[in-house]
Amino acid sequence: MILQDIDAAMQRYIDESILPGISFMVLKGTDVLYERHLGFADIESKKPLTADAIFRIASNTKIITSVVLMMLYEDGSFELDDSIENYLPEMGNMMVLKPNAVSIEDVEPAVSSITIRQLLSHSAGLSYGFVEPESIIDQAYNAAGLGGLSRADLVLSEYVKRVAELPLAFQPGTNWRYSVATDICGRLIEVLTGQTLDQVVSERLLDPLGMTDSGFYVPAEKIDRLSTLYLPLEPFQPMSGGLQAMPSGNDFSGSTRPKMLSGGGGMVSTLHDYAKFIQMIVNDGQWQGQSYLKPETLKLMRNNQLGEGIAVNFPFWAMPGTVFGLGFALKQVPDAEESELAVGEYHWGGLFGTHSWMAPSAGVAALCFTQRLPGFWHPFSHEFKQLVYQAAESGFKVQN
């Protein structure tokens, strides 16, 4: 196949009103091999999607927060197996839901403290509010105003205190559950540095890398570059066409600095900005003469941190053969439709349709960005990845 085959495949999602538009990039090593911007940043006005379009990157923020925290680890600010209560006392003496709990009051004491390693690997026992919305723990998160837009009225320190008042979903280290753990990591960064999360992220990462269009909000002079966020008319049928713009005020964006600096999902970026971050990672933590992380630290982040028999598990997004490192999901076994090149792949994405992944065995990395809620683990991203691997296997041919 040729790389241009990816264009036609992604254009179908746009033509069938499944995606408004998509920007994507393929890297061979650190070199940009292929890049395209298809469709619209805004369907109603027919505004084309361009290279400088700004996207809400949602949980792609988690990789940035994890990397910044590991920079502090290299500084000697903490050890991975330190108890989080050493730095955030409110996270001590946690209670845990009993295995057969029928209410949020059915709890028992945690048998061990939460460690920073467990926070980075989502094995601390925290939750999110949307993973299993009918579960006891997620209902409690939502009732406490800890999920969705309701948490925007809280500063990060208060948010962590409220999370600490709820029980854990399981004993620390005994399972995997997608969670607000990276928001806790964001607060840890603040405590370790004495600065706000956005200050540290900018000073340690964004500014040195030249990620000038990335941050926790879109400045007023750039707001016209923010892509519109769309909802599918049939949210439980991912391949059904039809999109509607998210109502203004509920679209997870703003032109002023937010009260809640979410290290787990609050940032915006462009394809080019985020590509610089990925290029640094695939280049063993080095970029343009500056060191951000040591190669051995990145190797540690790409090693499985979960206990034996524990794996990534979502009730609604199957991820077979996947475990978790420090901020990255790790592909150990490819599924039936995946290339063998995917073994060792590390990745994560965002709920609004921004994905990035790196495959060391192939020397390939790729990013695909859209604005669709939900857009995480959507068929478009799987097809994109399959086509990139097919292109790699055929030598990355480009039609002249």
Indicate whether 400 pLDDT > 70.
Answer: no
pLDDT band with cut points at 50, 70 and 90 for residue 149: low
Indicate whether 60 pLDDT > 70.
Answer: yes
CA distance 29 to 33: 9
Q: Is the dihedral of CA 280, 293, 329, 191 positive or negative?
A: negative
CA distance 203 to 311: 34
Task: Report whether 217 contacts 254 (CB < 8 A).
Answer: yes
CA distance 385 to 339: 9
Task: Report whether 322 contacts 312 (CB < 8 A).
Answer: yes
Angle between helix axes 4-15 and 379-393 (nearest 10 degrees) is 170
What are the structure tokens assigned to 151, written together?
């948490």
What are the structure tokens assigned to 202, written together?
């900018």
The type of residue at 170 is: F
The per-residue pLDDT for 250 is 81
Domain 4-61+198-393 is classified in which CATH homologous superfamily?
DD-peptidase/beta-lactamase superfamily (3.40.710.10)
Task: Report whether 380 contacts 10 (CB < 8 A).
Answer: yes
The per-residue pLDDT for 7 is 97
CA distance 145 to 82: 29
Query: 188-229: per-residue pLDDT in tens?
Result: 999 999 999 999 999 999 999 999 999 999 999 999 999 999
Region 307-332: what's the mean pLDDT?
94
pLDDT band with cut points at 50, 70 and 90 for residue 48: very high
Query: 67-109: per-residue pLDDT in tens?
Result: 999 999 999 999 999 999 999 999 999 999 999 999 999 999 9
Q: What percent of the chain has pLDDT over 70?
A: 99
Instruction: Kindly report the CATH number that applies to the domain delimited by 68-194.
Output: 3.40.710.10
Indicate whether 332 pLDDT > 90.
Answer: yes
Other Cβ atoms within 10 Å of 111 Cβ, number? 10
**Start-end ranges of CATH 3.40.710.10 in the chain?**
4-61+198-393, 68-194
Please enumerate in sequence order all residues whose Cβ is within 8 A of that of 238, keeping only pairs 6 or more positions apart, or say none.
18, 232, 378, 379
Average pLDDT, the chain: 95
Indicate whether 18 pLDDT > 80.
Answer: yes
pLDDT band with cut points at 50, 70 and 90 for residue 148: low
Distances (CA, A) of 193 to 59, 112, 157, 188, 203: 23, 26, 14, 9, 12
The per-residue pLDDT for 150 is 56
- The most distant pair of C-alpha atoms in the chain lies apart, rounded to whole Å, by 66
Region 314-325: what's the mean pLDDT?
91
Q: Residue 310 burial by CB count (10 A; 0-12/13-18/19+): exposed, middle or buried?
A: middle
Distances (CA, A) of 106 to 98, 131, 203: 6, 20, 44
Bridge-partner residues for 83, per DSSP? 115
- Using DSSP, how many helices (H) and how many strands (E) does the chain show? 11, 16
Query: 34-47: per-residue pLDDT in tens?
Result: 999 999 999 999 99
Indicate whether 277 pLDDT > 90.
Answer: yes
pLDDT band with cut points at 50, 70 and 90 for residue 387: very high
pTM of the shown model: 0.97
Closest CA relative to residue 214, chosen from 258, 253, 269: 269
Indicate whether 66 pLDDT > 70.
Answer: yes
Task: Report whether 358 contacts 301 (CB < 8 A).
Answer: no
Whether a cis peptide bond, with omega within 30° of 0, leads into 379 is: no
